[in-house]
Amino acid sequence: MISELSRRTFVTCLSATALVGAAPGAALALNDAQAKALIDKVVADINRVINSGKSLNAMIKEFERIFVKYGDVPIIARSALGADARRMSSAQLNAYTKAFQGYMARKYGKRFNEFVGGKIDVQGSRKVKSFYEVKSTVKLRGQAPFEVNFLVSDKSGQDKFFDMIIEGISLRLSEKSEIGAMLDKRGGDINALIADLQKAG
């Protein structure tokens, strides 16, 4: 099944972002049909928001819900912070993860009004070490097709995406650079970073 989607929508679902997910305890996407079904589910959620007629702020809140539902947010957030995550207290880690979640929703959700129609064609999936790589091709009107790969794992107890590779660029690593720069600007102050993330995006 080919789903309607825009390139910017697709990037948004990522990050970030997003975006393969399934019910708790479900098996990993072991074949092309399962991978297509998972991605179609996410795309349907995003397109529902885009076509809802809601205000931008309302759509951003909806995107945050989708990001949490399908993305392994704790893993993505910790990965974006890198080694500095190990020096955080439990309270700081929880506050940082929540702030990161909102930051991602605002950063990518603000692009909802820019989306245009397109198509995504899932090619299949393959096991890579302890996770699965789901390959897909995105086709947009007036643009050359481009490849997007989803990295999916069940380490959290659910099938969740923990990265998305768009034309060879990892969104997870891109955010790691962004978060690292923000932390450096604050001289390594975790609490200041959390405060910045609560407003950033």
- Residue 87: predicted pLDDT: 93
The mean pLDDT value for 114-125 works out to 67
Q: Are 13 and 46 in contact (CB under 8 A)?
A: yes
Q: Are 136 and 124 in contact (CB under 8 A)?
A: no
Structure confidence by residue, pLDDT tens digits, 34-92: 656 766 777 678 777 877 878 888 888 988 898 888 888 999 999 999 999 999 999 99
- Residue 164: predicted pLDDT: 80
Rounded distance between C-alpha atoms, residue 37 and residue 169, angstroms: 24
Nearest to 12 by CA among 102, 100, 115: 115
Q: Name the one residue in this structure whose structure tokens are 């990518």.
A: 108
Residues 46, 49, 53, CA angle at the centre, nearest 5°? 150
Q: For the chain, what are the domain ranges? A: 3-199
pLDDT surpassing 50 at residue 133: yes
Structure confidence by residue, pLDDT tens digits, 149-165: 888 877 777 777 888 88
Tokens of 25: 């305890």
Structure confidence by residue, pLDDT tens digits, 168-195: 889 889 999 999 999 999 999 999 999 9
Nearest to 115 by CA among 3, 15, 2, 7: 7
Q: What percent of the chain has pLDDT above 90? A: 28
User: Could you say which DSSP state residue 6 is in?
Assistant: -
Q: What is the pTM of this model?
A: 0.73
Domain covering 3-199 in this structure, CATH number = 3.10.450.710
Confidence of residue 8 (pLDDT cuts 50, 70, 90): very low
- Residue 1: predicted pLDDT: 44
